[in-house]
Structure 1
Amino acid sequence: MNTPTLENNRVKLTLLNLSNYAHLGQIAQEKDLIYYSPSDISDPEKLRAYVQIAIEGYDNKTTLPFIIYDKEKQAYAGATRFGLINWKNKVLHIGWTWIGHHFQGTGLNANMKFLMLQYAFETLAFEKVEFRIDERNNKSRRAVEKLGATLEGILRKDTLMNDGFRRSTCCYGILKDEWAEIKKSLLNIIK
């Protein structure tokens, strides 16, 4: 699989792997950083295991994980990935995204999502990008809606969380034929 570097004036996304994940150690330990995720990155061993799973997906061509570098703050900010890549149907998910509290609300997320959407639609020529978000995570839901994604439905109590709670998952999507209009809107946001 081609391993791109996605970059603009604000952010640089490069392959997340075992040689660079340690840059995220302090951020991964921030309180409630991935509260709405079934993953656990709260200590160095769990973070390494999380990255190892992403690498295995990369080796199987079902994920493309990135480490996020904020060029404005000149610091590593978190991680994100393309996942559940379905090459036959040309559908993939953008998710597994977490950025440190200090980077949230700064425009970093919109910049990286723009680059990822652009790559998915314009380079990979995929037909659809999906996002899956915990129904309770209003902040992430608003962010994806601001990107232009459409709520397509809710999977009721489909994911078991670490604390035993069964979350419901909101399914959002952007279609390839919606991308041109969404791209125009996003270019105005990320200027």
Structure 2
Amino acid sequence: MTSPILENNRVKLTLLDLNNYTEIATIGQQDKLVLYSPSKIATPEDLKTYAETAVAGYQNKTVIPFLVFDKQTNTYAGTTRFAYINKHDKVLHIGWTWIGHEFQGTGLNMHMKFLMLQYAFETLKFDKVEFRADERNIASRKAIEKIGGTLEGILRKDMLMLDGFKRSSCCYGILKEEWPNIKKTNFAGFE
């Protein structure tokens, strides 16, 4: 499995690895950045562990982690990834996305998701892309719905959070046959 470089006029997604993860260390220290995630990224040690886990997933061919570079501000903005890559069933997840507060609401996430969806459906030829979000994370849920994700169900109390809370995860999906209309409707002018 090779790591693509996904890029348009707004964003560039390159492989996150142990040589470049420190580019997002300052962003990882922002308050409440991963409030609804079981990930720890606030300290240099936490971020290194996060990157090591992502790299191990890449080596096992189940994850492609990306470093997000915002071309508009000429700065690194955060990270995202393909995960649970199942080549047999042609299904993968998009998630583990966190970008600094200053990048949220700027359209950066839409550009990231467009490139990732386009790659998943048009290059990898996958049949389905899934997303998961904490039931309480209204902003992420709305973002997934904005890009065309359909709520398929809620996994009740399926994930233990760092504070001991058992979250429920909303499961969203986009099917390959839905992608052409979603691309035309939600991502007009993104290529």
Category of TM-score, reference length = shorter chain = over 0.9
1:82 lines up with 2:82 in the alignment: yes
Match of 2:97 in 1: 97
1:72 maps to what in 2? 72
Q: Is the 8 A contact 1:84 1:92 kept in 2?
A: yes
Give identity over the alignment, percent: 64
- Tell me how large the CA RMSD over aligned residues is: 1.0
SS in 2 for 1:188: coil
Alignment of 1:132-171 (within 5 A): 132-171=132-171
Listed one character per residue, the Cα deviations across residues 110-136 of structure 1 (whole Å, up to 9, x for unaligned) are 000000000000000000000000000
Q: Which runs of 5+ in 2 are unaligned?
A: none
Q: How far off its partner does 1:189 sit? A: 7.0
Q: State the AA in 2 paired with 1:94.
A: I
Residues 122, 57 of structure 1: alpha-carbon distance in 2 compared, 3 angstrom cutoff: same
The separation in 2 between residues aligned to 1:119 and 1:10, in whole angstroms, is 16
Aligned pairs for 1:1-191 (under 5 A) are: 1-188=1-188, 190=190
Contact 1:110-1:190 within 8 A present in 2 as well: no
Question: 1:3, 1:27 → 2: CA distance?
Answer: 23
How far, CA to CA, are the matches of 1:118 and 1:66 in structure 2?
15
- What SS does structure 2 have at the residue aligned with 1:157? strand
Q: Structure 1: which amino acid aligns with 2:135?
A: E
Structure 1 stretches of 4+ moved >4 Å: none
| 1:70–1:108 Cα contact (<8 Å) kept | yes
How many equivalent pairs are there? 191
Deviation of 1:3 after TM superposition, in Å, equals: 1.1
Kept after mapping to 2: 8 A contact 1:107/1:190 = no
Report the residue type matching 1:127 in the other structure. D
**Separation in 1, partners of 2:152, 2:8:** 30
- Gaps of at least 5 residues in structure 1 are none
TM-score by length of 2: 0.98
